[in-house]
Structure 1
Amino acid sequence: MCLSMPAKVIEIDEQRRTAKVDYLGSQLQVGIELLEKVETGQFVLVHAGEAIQLINEEEAIQSIRYWKELTQG
């Protein structure tokens, strides 16, 4: 089973094709090569260190809420 997590893009490095994202309060550097256009403030699904899909904010927030419920009991 594969699992991807929503994260908010907070900074983009166009030259290296990476983005700094916020995932549940942690900042991670992820690849954005698989996406055509990514902008600061957007939400992406991250799997294995790569942003694999854009996701709208409402879906991202709902997914994060469900994840918190599962992990925090």
Structure 2
Amino acid sequence: MCLGIPGRVEEILNLAALERTARVSFGGITKDINIAYVPEAVVGDYVIVHVGFAISRVNEQEAQRIFDYLGQLGDLEELE
């Protein structure tokens, strides 16, 4: 099963088109993510991340709803 996890863009690290990366926070866990597929993403945006790539933007309410659901399932520990 493929799962995309929402994260908040904290800092843009690289602006090169195909190497565009950002530091993304997943409820306190921070990872460097490729955001080339969502060139419109800016600091403060929430993005859906799958295997290290941001694949779309999502609003904050939807991101929180997904985190709540994953918390109920106990799947947030996998991010660590």
TM norm. shorter chain > 0.5: yes
The one-letter code sitting in structure 1 at the alignment partner of 2:30 is: Q
The one-letter code sitting in structure 2 at the alignment partner of 1:2 is: C
- Distance of 1:31 and 1:64 partners within structure 2: 21
- Calculate the TM-score normalised by the size of structure 2: 0.83
- Calculate the TM-score normalised by the size of structure 1: 0.90
Map of 2:22 onto structure 1: 19
Map of 2:10 onto structure 1: 10
- Residue 24 of structure 1 deviates from its aligned partner by 2.3
Query: Are 2:40 and 1:42 equivalent residues in the alignment?
Result: no
Runs of 4+ with >2 A deviation: none
Q: How many residues align?
A: 72
- Residue 35 of structure 1 deviates from its aligned partner by 1.1
- Distance of 1:17 and 1:36 partners within structure 2: 8
Map of 1:51 onto structure 2: 54
Gaps of 5+ in 1: none
- Residue 69 of structure 1 deviates from its aligned partner by 1.1
Query: Are 2:72 and 1:69 equivalent residues in the alignment?
Result: yes
Gaps of 5+ in 2: 76-80
- Distance of 1:22 and 1:32 partners within structure 2: 13
The CA deviation string for residues 24-72 of structure 1, in whole angstroms up to 9 with x for no partner, is 2110000011112111011000001000000011100110011111107
Cα RMSD between the aligned structures?
Answer: 1.3
SS of 1:67's partner is: helix
